[in-house]
Amino acid sequence: MSTYNVINTRAPRLDAPAKATGQALYTDDLQFSNLLYGAILQSPLAHARIKNIDLSKARKLPGVKAVVTARDLEIIPYGVSPARYDETILAVDKVRYVGDEVAAVAAVDRETAQEAVELIKVDYEELPTVFDPFEAMAEGAPLIHEAYPRNLCGEVHQEFGDVEAAFAQCDLIHEHKFVNKRQDAAFMEPNNCVAVFDHQGFLTLYSSTQVPHYVQRTVAMVLKIPVGRVRVVKSYVGGGFGPKASASTMELVGCLLSMKTLRPVKMHFSREQVFLHSRGRHQFFHTFKTGVKKDGTLMALHNTCYLEGGAYSSFGIATVYYAGSLLGGPYKLPNMKYDGYRVYTNRPACGAQRGHGGVAARAGFEQQLDIIAEQLGIDPVEMRLQNIMETGDTTCNELNMSSLGMKECIEAIRNQSDWKLKKGKLPKGRGIGIACGFFVSGAGYPIYRSDTYHATVVIKLSEDGGTAQVLTGSAEIGQGSDTAFGMIAAEALGVRLEDVRVASGDTDYSVDLGAYSSRQTLMTGHATKEAGEDAKRQVLEVLSETLNVPLNEISVSNGLIHFEGITPKFDAIRVGYMKEHRGWADSPAEGPLTFKEAARLAYLKKGTIVGTGKYKPPKLGGSFKGAAVGTSPAYGCSAMMAEVSVDLETGEVTMEKITDAHDCGLAINRTQVEGQMEGSVSMGLGESLFEEVKFNEKGQILNASLGEYKIPTALDVPPITSLIIESGEPNGPYGAKEVGEGGIMPVIPAILNAIYDATGVRINEMPLTSERIWKALKEKK
C-alpha cells in the first residue's frame, strides 16, 4: 500500500480540460498587433554553389517588409553541440541538401511572404552529390564540408576489457548485420514560432520547442544579443520526440526578421518543411559480433556502426556515442568494443529521436541474443535472466546501476504472457518474442560545458495561503510533466493536487535544460520536491514559533496540519484568518488547522513565501573519451513480449498482443506511466512495420506528408498490458526515474523475434514490410 497521498496514484492531466475544449493556445494561435509573417526560400538542389541571389523583384512586391540573406548577417556558426558548429542561419556560399535555407522574407501576410520567396532568383552551380554513407567515406567522394575529410562528422573507437582475448575463450561467436531506415518523428504540430523584438532591445520568442533554455542560448549567440535580453516562451506543444530539441533555422530567421522590422514575425513549417528540416532518427548500419560460453554467458561484443547523418551535425556527435554506449547494459558484458562513424551526406540532417541513438542498436542486439540462444538450445528468457544486471552493478563502460528492476520486468512479462505455453508452440504463422530495453534518466551533463544546474524551480505560495504556484522553465510537450511536477509539489508541501498551479516553459521562470533524454521527472522533479519542502519549512517554522510547538512535531498532509501529542490551541490563527478574509466563501471554519491558514500566518509574518529547489547530477561516468555520453544519475529498463500473426502467403503482419513491463523507479502518476508505455509501443510499432523516409536519386523526399509517411492509427495498435515495476531509485525524487524513451527500446526486437517464431525467417532490415517478409519466406522455400 502506498505511503503517499498524491504521488503514486492516478490523476487526470492538468492540461486535459484546456486541450479537450480547444482552449489551449498553441504558438500558431497567438495573435499580436502589427504582425508580420515570414517565409523561407529553400534550395531545390542537394548540393550546389550559390553564384548570385537576385532579391530585387521580391523587395518591390507590395506588402514585403524585409528580405534577408546571409549577406545581411555577421556569420556566426552554430549547432547543437559546441563540439561541432557547422550550421549558419542562411546558406553562405553553397547549399548542402534539398531544403537548405537560402533567404527569408517578412511580409504583411503569409501569401505575400510566400509570393516574395518565389520571386527570389538564385543562380546555382550544381555540385556532385553523395547520399550513401559508405560512398561518402570513399576517397575522392564530394566533400560536403571541406573541413571534414571523407565526410566524417564523428568517429568513435572505444574498447572496455580485452575483446579479442575474450573471443578466444568463447564457445560460440555469432556475427550479423542490422539496418533500419530514416524515420520522421511525425509529431502532430509542425514547428512554428513568433518573434517579438521590442523597442527597448528585448527579444521574446514564442516557440513550439521542447528546449526553451537551449533555444535562448543559441538565439543570443547567433544574433549577438545579451542572453539576459532574450526570453523564450513555450506555448502548448503538439509533440516533439527529439527533433524540436534544438534551435531551428526558422526560429533564428524569425528573430532576425523581427529585429530588422521591429514588428512581431510569425513563422511556421509546412508538413513538407518538417520533413526537410528532419532532425529525426538516423539510418544505422550495425554489425554485431557477440561471443558466449556454451552455457549462454555473455563474454564479449564488438559493435561497428555507420550513421547516415545528412548535411549537418545536429545531435549527431552525441548520437554516434549513444549508439554504442548503451549496449553496455542491461546485461553483464565484461568486454565491449565499439567503432562508430557518423557520416555527412547531401540529405536533411538527422538528430535525436525517442530512444536517442539506441533504438536500432537495441533492436539488432536483442535479435542476436535470440539467435545465439537458439544455437545453444537455451530458452531466450532464461538466457537473459542468466546475464542480467542488478542494482549495484556497473557496466564495463562505467555506467552505475543505482537501481535496476530488469529481472523483475522479465519475470513479470513471462508470467503474464504464458511464455512457456506459447514459445515455439503456437500454430504456424503465429509467434511470440521477447526483448529488453535500457535507457538513461537524463543526460548527466548539459549539451554545452557548464556547471549550471540542470533544473531550478520556484514555488510561490499565494498570499491567502490557499494556492501553490510552481514556476519552472521545463517543457511540457505532451508527456505530462506539468502534472507530474504538480503532484510532486503537492506531496512535498502536504497539500492537495487541486491546490497547486503549474506554470512552465518560460525562461523567465527558471533555468531548465528542457524535455530531452528522459530527464524531466528525475531532474526537474528533484528541484520541485526541494522547492516544495523549502516553502513548507518556512510556513511550519512560523507556525512552530507562534504555537510554541517543536517543529519536528508538526506535519502536513492533504492540506491539514497534524500535531504529535496534544493539539495546541490555534483559535487565534483561525479567527485572524476569518477577519482577514471577511466575505470569502472558502475560509476554514471548523476542524483541524489547515496549511492554508498556516501559510497565511507565515505571509503576515514574513511576506510572500517562496521556496526554491535545484538539481544537478553528481560527477558521473569514467575518464575515457566520450564518457560523458551515456552517463546518467539512473537507468530505466523494460521488457516486452510481442505476439504476432503473419500471413504466410502475403507477409502481412498483424499485431495480436503486447505485454510490457517498465521499471520507472516509482510511478508519480500511474496513469501517465502507462500512457508513456503505450505511446512507446505505438511509436515502436510504426518504426517496426511502416516508417521510412524515402528519397529519389536527386535527394528529394518522396513521401513528405502524413498521407504517404505511414504511422500507426489506433486500429493498428493491439491490446497492451502495461506492468509497472518500481525499484526505488535513490537518485530520483521519491524514487522516480524515466519511462519516456526507454519504453520504445524493446518494441522492435520483440516484434522481430516474434516474427521469427511465427515464420522461421529472420529479417535484418527495417521496416518489416509485407514485401520484405514475403521475399524472405520465398527464399526460405
C-alpha to C-alpha distance for 212 and 477, rounded to whole angstroms? 11
How far, CA to CA in Å, does 10 sit from each of 211, 435, 497, 669? 27, 28, 11, 5
C-alpha to C-alpha distance for 131 and 698, rounded to whole angstroms? 9
Q: Do 312 and 228 contact (CB within 8 A), yes or no?
A: no
Contacts 24+ apart (CB under 8 A), 117-121: 117/39, 117/40, 117/41, 117/58, 119/57, 119/58, 119/61, 120/41, 120/53, 120/54, 120/55, 120/57, 120/58, 120/67, 121/53, 121/54, 121/57
Structure confidence by residue, pLDDT tens digits, 539-586: 999 999 999 999 999 999 999 999 998 889 999 999 999 988 887 777
Average pLDDT over residues 318-330: 96
Q: What is the mean pLDDT of the chain?
A: 97
Structure confidence by residue, pLDDT tens digits, 240-280: 999 999 999 999 999 999 999 999 999 999 999 999 999 99
The three grid cell numbers given for residue 231, joined into one nine-digit string: 526570453
Express as a percent the part of the chain with pLDDT over 90. Answer: 95
C-alpha to C-alpha distance for 445 and 620, rounded to whole angstroms? 9
pLDDT value at position 567? 86
pLDDT at 83 over 90: no
pLDDT at 105 over 80: yes
C-alpha to C-alpha distance for 69 and 219, rounded to whole angstroms? 17
Average pLDDT over residues 390-396: 97
Q: Do 26 and 237 contact (CB within 8 A), yes or no?
A: yes
| Band of pLDDT at residue 154, cut at 50, 70 and 90 | very high
Average pLDDT over residues 644-664: 97
pLDDT at 619 over 90: no
Structure confidence by residue, pLDDT tens digits, 512-527: 999 999 999 999 999 9
C-alpha to C-alpha distance for 272 and 404, rounded to whole angstroms? 42
C-alpha to C-alpha distance for 595 and 577, rounded to whole angstroms? 12
Structure confidence by residue, pLDDT tens digits, 169-188: 999 999 999 999 999 999 99
pLDDT value at position 73? 87
Average pLDDT over residues 706-727: 96
pLDDT at 399 over 80: yes
C-alpha to C-alpha distance for 778 and 660, rounded to whole angstroms? 32
pLDDT value at position 381? 98
The three grid cell numbers given for residue 307, joined into one nine-digit string: 550513421
Q: Quick count: other Cβ atoms within 10 Å of Cβ 508? A: 12
Query: What size, in residues, is the chain?
Result: 781
pLDDT at 537 over 80: yes
pLDDT at 393 over 60: yes
Structure confidence by residue, pLDDT tens digits, 415-454: 999 999 999 999 999 999 999 999 999 999 999 989 999 9
pLDDT value at position 122? 98
Question: Which strand (E) or helix (H) includes residue 535?
Answer: helix 520-547
pLDDT value at position 590? 86
pLDDT at 354 over 90: yes
pLDDT value at position 1? 56
CA-based torsion, 95, 98, 101, 106: positive or negative = positive
The reported pTM is 0.97
Average pLDDT over residues 729-748: 97
Average pLDDT over residues 112-127: 98
pLDDT at 121 over 90: yes
pLDDT at 607 over 60: yes
Q: Do 98 and 126 contact (CB within 8 A), yes or no?
A: no
